[in-house]
């Protein structure tokens, strides 16, 4: 399938633009190298790039005569300028869509984007790019599968790259697609997300690793992440890779991996997470790197959490290098293993006090339930108590009404 919608005229020039567009897409990364000078960008209706006032690639704005009906609402290729979607149009994500440095994608309430399965579709935001979702409690933005019978893994997911620190204190490279993330800008912004539902994501990447429903790589504190649901993802629902963006009112429903994965010392704070139907763990905290002195290393707080089982790898999984976290008001249900501590390194970090869990409730556990497999020198790292979790214990929280799906 071509990278951009085909046109029935000027074929030689169009195919040249496709080649150029594909070349740049394959070689671009989430770094600041070779920034685009928007003032000198040549606006053209045949370059396979979303320019100026175009609504979609080579369509709209100065190119009103070059919009075949089948191209209306197509999202694919490289965006180098601000783009505002129209909620009256049902958009189709027909391949990789990259939002470059200084570009922005703004999505108003009620917008629906359907990703074509089997074409490698995903949305990626480069460092310096912006992804903003302006959903409403009764009118969310929905990014879903365009298949007649949708299934987990029909398309990739959303990748957002920021400039905030990760545990190495350096710039990292994504493990899903070949892009860069991280840096030193604690107050970096990659946009604002509010009332977004992501469905049927988690396809396999070229390295045979699943995409996450949404992954935030080194995203900074000036990025707003609230009211986000992933539904039926084949991989993790949500993943934080370093950075320090806070995240509030998150819902993960039926994920093939972990509900939420926290890696490389994410240094934000979390509040009100409702996680159900995760195949592995509700929350997994780990690190891809062996870092002797992680930077930054701060005690981050995640509070008001509901984890609804069953799960196969523990309601809460702390493994490898882990990180420094305080969890409070955690409600779990239908668990066979409450807190899974994997490996001697993770156990040693608990010995040092790097993990503290206050007020955790193990409600309606299985008959062979074990609170934790930790056997180190700090058995008081967790305290059992009654907990309301995300608001209503095992039940759907009130704040999830109107914009989520698949919750009882």
What pLDDT does residue 288 have? Answer: 65
Bridge partner residues of 253 (DSSP): 231, 276
What pLDDT does residue 7 have? Answer: 33
What pLDDT does residue 172 have? Answer: 81
What pLDDT does residue 55 have? Answer: 60
Write down the domain spans for the chain.
Answer: 21-245
Residue stretches of the chain with pLDDT short of 50? 1-43, 69, 296-297
Are 58 and 66 in contact by the 8 Å Cβ rule? The answer is yes
The per-residue pLDDT for range 31-67, each reduced to its tens digit, is 444 444 433 334 466 676 766 666 666 666 666 555 5
What pLDDT does residue 406 have? Answer: 96
Torsion (CA) 271, 330, 325, 322 in degrees, nearest 10: -110
Whether this prediction's pTM lies above 0.75 is answered by yes
According to DSSP, the β-strands at 370-372 and 270-278 are unpaired
What tokens were used for 113? 């984007």
Count the neighbouring beta carbons within 10 Å of the beta carbon of residue 106: 16
What pLDDT does residue 317 have? Answer: 97
């Amino acid at each position: 399938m071509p990278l951009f919608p085909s046109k029935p005229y000027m074929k030689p020039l169009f195919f040249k633009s496709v080649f150029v567009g594909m070349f740049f897409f394959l070689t671009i990364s989430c770094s600041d190298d070779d920034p685009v000078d928007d003032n000198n960008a040549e606006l053209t209706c045949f370059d396979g790039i979303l320019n100026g006032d175009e609504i979609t690639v080579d369509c709209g704005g100065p190119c009103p005569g070059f919009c075949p009906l089948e191209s209306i609402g197509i999202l694919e290729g490289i965006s180098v300028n601000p783009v505002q979607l129209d909620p009256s149009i049902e958009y189709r994500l027909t391949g990789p869509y990259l939002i470059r440095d200084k570009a922005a994608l703004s999505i108003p309430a009620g917008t629906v984007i359907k990703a074509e399965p089997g074409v490698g579709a995903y949305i990626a935001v480069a460092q310096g790019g912006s992804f903003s979702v302006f959903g409403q409690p009764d009118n969310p933005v929905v990014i879903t599968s365009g298949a007649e019978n949708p299934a987990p893994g029909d398309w990739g997911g959303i990748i957002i790259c920021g400039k905030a620190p990760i545990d190495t204190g350096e710039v990292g490279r994504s493990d899903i697609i070949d892009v860069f993330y991280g840096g030193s800008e604690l107050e970096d912004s990659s946009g604002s997300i509010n009332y977004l539902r992501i469905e049927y994501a988690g396809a396999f990447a070229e390295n045979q690793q699943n995409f996450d429903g949404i992954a935030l790589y080194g995203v900074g504190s000036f990025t707003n992440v609230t009211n986000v649901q992933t539904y039926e993802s084949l991989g993790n629902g949500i993943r934080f890779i370093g950075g320090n963006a806070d995240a509030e009112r998150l819902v993960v429903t039926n994920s093939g991996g972990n509900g939420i994965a926290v890696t490389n010392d994410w240094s934000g704070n979390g509040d009100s997470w409702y996680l159900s139907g995760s195949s592995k763990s509700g929350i997994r905290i780990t690190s891809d790197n062996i870092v002797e002195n992680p930077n930054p290393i701060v005690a981050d707080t995640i509070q008001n959490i509901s984890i609804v089982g069953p799960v196969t790898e523990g309601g809460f999984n702390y493994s490898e290098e882990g990180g420094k976290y305080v969890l409070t008001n955690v409600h779990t249900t239908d668990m066979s293993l409450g807190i899974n501590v994997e490996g001697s390194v993770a156990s040693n970090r608990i010995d040092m006090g790097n993990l503290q869990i206050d007020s955790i409730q193990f409600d309606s556990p299985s008959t062979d339930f074990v609170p934790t497999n930790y056997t180190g020198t700090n058995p008081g790292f967790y305290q059992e108590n009654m907990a309301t979790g995300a608001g209503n214990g095992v039940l759907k929280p009130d704040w999830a009404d109107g914009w989520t799906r698949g919750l009882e």
